[in-house]
Chains A and B, each alone.
Chain A
Amino acid sequence: KAGVTQTPRYLIKTRGQQVTLSCSPISGHRSVSWYQQTPGQGLQFLFEYFSETQRNKGNFPGRFSGRQFSNSRSEMNVSTLELGDSALYLCACAGQGLLETQYFGPGTRLLVL
């Protein structure tokens, strides 16, 4: 089956701009989580969406938001970009069971200048 896809794969933005990243999960997987990975902070949980509702949220400012559509595809938006938002943004999906494996997409590398 097809894996998790993320678009775009690379992105360069300037401070103050906003950005929208997209994630298409494996077919049938309804849980989509987003992570930020930086060399200094490692992998940090942003939020999880399940059945179009945000179910869990990490400790990120309100500039980071997301949504999920009825086909389980998810988007993440970052407004008023800051230099520190430069990172690899990963999404991961899981099936419906509580003990399902979480599968990661290839990530979107965002550079903020």
Chain B
Amino acid sequence: EDKVVQSPLSLVVHEGDTVTLNCSYEVTNFRSLLWYKQEKKAPTFLFMLTSSGIEKKSGRLSSILDKKELFSILNITATQTGDSAVYLCAVVKDAGGTSYGKLTFGQGTILTVHP
């Protein structure tokens, strides 16, 4: 059975701290790994990772994938209160053809950033 496990499940930090969120997976026919940020609404897309060892960056956020060890990390530097959210990791299975594929989500990491 496909499995995506995130850790830690929750994290409380102060503004300015750096955090690292982890996502490990066991999925057959891996296509890509996605990171989402969810506040009190629908998830918003952060990164898509398909190749090992290539870091994706967007401002203070960065992410990297290790396809050999089957995990990904999401780093947030100089955290701000606006970073408080649930961070979701999802793995996309290759379903063949042009369809998007089947996503398996982790439980999410609840990040709370205090001023």
Seen from chain A, the residues whose Cβ lies within 8 Å of a Cβ on chain B are 31, 33, 35, 42-45, 48, 50, 55-58, 90, 94, 96, 98-107
Question: Which residues of chain A have C-beta atoms less than 8 A from B106's C-beta?
Answer: 42
Majority secondary structure, A binding face: strand
Q: Which residue of B lies closest to A107 (CB)?
A: B42
B103 touches A45 (CB 8 A): yes
B42 touches A105 (CB 8 A): yes
Question: Which residues of chain A have C-beta atoms less than 8 A from B93's C-beta?
Answer: 56
Contact of B100 among A33, A57, A106 (CB under 8 A): A33
Question: Which residues of chain A have C-beta atoms less than 8 A from B100's C-beta?
Answer: 31, 33, 48, 50, 55-56, 94, 98, 100, 102
Question: Which residues of chain A have C-beta atoms less than 8 A from B104's C-beta?
Answer: 45
Selected A-B contacts with CB under 8 Å, 30 pairs: A31-B100, A33-B100, A35-B105, A42-B106, A42-B107, A43-B90, A45-B104, A48-B100, A48-B102, A50-B97, A50-B98, A55-B95, A55-B99, A55-B100, A56-B102, A58-B102, A94-B100, A98-B100, A99-B48, A99-B50, A101-B45, A101-B48, A102-B34, A102-B100, A102-B103, A103-B45, A104-B36, A104-B42, A104-B43, A106-B42
Contact of B101 among A56, A103, A107 (CB under 8 A): A56
B98 touches A104 (CB 8 A): no
One digit per residue, 1 when the CB lies within 8 angstroms of any chain A CB and 0 when it does not, for chain B 41-83 equals: 1111100101000000000000000000000000000000000
Seen from chain B, the residues whose Cβ lies within 8 Å of a Cβ on chain A are 31-32, 34, 36, 41-45, 48, 50, 88, 90, 93, 95, 97-108
Question: Which residues of chain B have C-beta atoms less than 8 A from A45's C-beta?
Answer: 102-105
Given contacts A43-B105, A44-B105, A106-B41, contact A50 B88 (CB under 8 A): no
Question: Which residues of chain B have C-beta atoms less than 8 A from A43's C-beta?
Answer: 43, 88, 90, 105, 108
Given contacts A43-B88, A43-B105, A106-B41, contact A55 B48 (CB under 8 A): no
* A21 vs chain B, min Cβ distance (A): 14
